[in-house]
Amino acid sequence: MMKVLIADDEKHVREAIKMLADWNSHGITEIIEAEDGQSAVNLIMEHSPQIVMTDMRMPRMDGTQLLEWIKNNQPAVKSIVISGYDDFDLVRHAIRNGGLDYILKPVDPDELNEALNKAVEEVRLETLQDRLSARKNRELNQMKPHYADKLLTDLIGSHGNRDELARQLQEEFGLPREIEAASAAVISTAQLDQELLDKFRPMRQLLYFTLINICNEVLLAWQKGIAFHNLNNPEEIVLLIWDETMPLQTTLAEIRSGIDLTLHRQVHIGAGPRQPFPAGIAASYHDAHQALWQRNLNEPAEWLHTAAPPSQKPQRLAAHEDSFRTAALSGNADSISSAVDGWMEQVRKLACVTPAQLKQWNSEWDWMLKQWMDLDSNAPAPGPDKDAMLELPPSLPLDPLGRLSYPLWKTQYEGRLIAASRIMTQQHSRDNNNHIIHDIAKYLENHYAEDISLQDMAARFFLSREYISRRFKQEFGVNISEFLADVRIAKAKLLLLNPQLRISQVAEMVGYQDEKYFSKVFKKQEGRTPNDYRKDQSSH
C-alpha cells in the first residue's frame, strides 16, 4: 500500500493535483492533505507516506523548511515540489534537500504523472533493496551460529590448524586473544531420560538451542567461556571454559542449576583438565567425553565426572544369547521375563555400569538379532522386514536423575524379545503376518481421541516405525495418520448429530485441539464443513 501526502495552503491546488494524477496506475491507495508545512510534518509522523508533494510558499513552515525536515528525519520519503515560483534559489534548495522534481504551476498532467512515476519507481526499488538486504542479513544471522559451531567443532577435533581456527574465532566471533589455557566440558542429550526427550521429539533442535543458551548465559555474561553444538556428535553440547577466577566446578554447578530450573533435569557433566589453548583443547575434550561416558551409573550422587573409573572385565550380552533365544522361540511371557531377569542379576553384581556399556550391549543385541534372523528358517527372508525388530531405543534406560533404571531397562529388553518372538514364530499366512497390524488398527480405533504418533505405536508394539508404516499401508491401503483421521471423522459425524455439542467440543472429543484444523480435515474428507454437515443432517 503506497501513500502520498499533498502539502499546499490552497485547497483548489490540492484538488487539481488529486484530479490530474493517475493514482491507480501508480499503485497509490491513499492520499493525505496538509494545509502547511507543520501540518505536513505531523501527518508524516502519523501516516508514514512514501511520497510528499509540497508547495514552497506556505504559512507556519514553508516548503524549504519541510524539505530540510524530511531530509533530516525521514530521508526515505520521496519529495516532489509543485510551486508557482520559478526561482533558481528555490530549485537549488529543493534539489539539495532530496527533491526529485520541481514542477511549476499551473500543473501539467504529463509532468505531474512523469514525476510521480519516477518517485514511485524509486520507492519500489528501495523497498526491494531493503527486502533483499534484510533477507541477506537473516541468512547471515542464521548461518553465523552454524559457522561458529563448525569452527569450534574443528577446534576440538583431530584435524585442522588449531592456531588458525583460534584466530578466525577471535576475529569473527570475538573470542578473547589472551586465552592461554582452557578446559572442555560435555553435556550429552543421549544421557537424558526418555520423558524429557519425548517433549522435544518433533523439535530436537530446540533442545540443543535451550541447553546452549542456558550455558552461554553463564559463560558469555562474564567472558568465562563459550558453549556450542558439536557437529561431529550432534547429541553433545561442548563447553570451553578459560576463566580461572572461579573454580571450574562452581561454574558448571551454576550452569547445571540453570538447566534444572528450566528443564527440571539434573544433568551429568564430563569435564577435562585444563590444557594450553588452543593446542591442548582437543585432549581436554577427549577426556571430558570419556569421563561422561565412563561414569558409574550406580553412583547417582556424583554429577561432575572428571576421570574414567578403573577398567573391569566386560560383561558380554552374547553370553546370555542361548537363554534369550530360547525364551523368544517359546513365545512365553514368563520365560521372556525370566531370561531378562537372569541378565539383570549378572549386571547388578558389577561394581560399575557405564553409559558406554549400555551402548555396547545395544550393539551386541542388534548383532544377536541378525544372527537369529539368518539362522531361523521361519523368520522373514533377508530384506526390509528385519527392521521389524525393535529399534535401538531413542534414549538409554536412565531416570530423570541420570541413573540406570532397571525397570525401564527390563521393559526395553522384554519388548525386544517379544518383537523377536513375533517375527521368529510367525507363519507365512497373511492372517498371521498381519495380526499385529490389525492389533495396531484396533488400538487406533479405541484411542482415537488421544494424541497418537507413529513413534508411540512403535514403542507400544515393539516394532520399528518403518516396519509399521510399510505393513500398515500394505494391509489397509492408507498410512496410519490417514487411517486415524478416517476413524476420527467417522466418530465426529456421529457426534455432530447432537445439536447440544459445539463444533469445538466435537473437535476436542475426537482428538483435535484446533477447531480450524478439525474443520479443514473434515471438509477435505467430506466435501463440506462440520457445520454444513450438521445442517444437512438436521434437514432430513
Same domain, 396 and 513: no
Using CA atoms, how far residue 100 sits from 22, 28, 91, 173, 222, in Å, is 18, 18, 11, 42, 52
The reported pLDDT for the residue numbered 394 is: 58
Domain count for the chain: 4
- pLDDT tens series, the chain, 540 aa: 799 999 999 999 999 999 999 999 999 999 999 999 999 999 999 999 999 999 988 988 998 899 999 999 999 999 999 888 877 777 778 777 778 888 888 889 999 999 999 999 999 888 888 877 667 655 545 556 688 889 999 999 877 788 999 998 888 888 888 899 999 999 999 999 888 888 887 788 899 999 999 999 999 877 899 999 999 998 999 999 998 888 999 999 999 999 999 999 999 999 999 999 999 999 999 999 999 999 999 876 789 999 876 767 778 888 888 889 888 888 888 999 999 999 999 999 988 899 999 999 988 888 887 777 665 444 444 444 444 444 555 578 999 988 999 999 999 899 888 888 877 765 433 444 467 888 899 999 999 998 888 888 877 777 777 888 888 888 889 999 899 999 999 999 989 988 889 999 999 999 998 899 999 999 998 999 999 999 888 776
Residues 296 and 178 in one domain: yes
> Is residue 436 in some structural domain?
no
Mark whether 328 and 288 lie in a shared domain.
Answer: no
Is there a domain that residue 309 lies in?
no
Pull the grid cell for residue 85: 515560483
Residues 102 and 183 in one domain: no
CB 135 within 8 A of CB 152: no
Residues 48 and 81 in one domain: yes
Tell me, yes or no, whether 144 lies in a domain: no
Q: Are residues 372 and 322 in the same domain?
A: yes
Final residue of a structural domain among 269, 302, 335: 302
In contact, 158 and 164? CB cutoff 8 Å: no
DSSP state, residue 273: P
Cα torsion at 380, 383, 389, 393 (round to 10°)? 180
φ, ψ for residue 79, nearest 5 deg? -115, 135
Domain that holds residue 461: 446-539
460, part of any domain: yes
| CATH number of the domain where residue 532 is located | 1.10.10.60
* CA dist list (Å): 88 to 9, 40, 94: 22, 24, 10
* In a shared domain, residues 161 and 256: yes
Cell numbers of 68, please? 530540510
Rounded distance, CA 537 to CA 374, Å?
Answer: 58
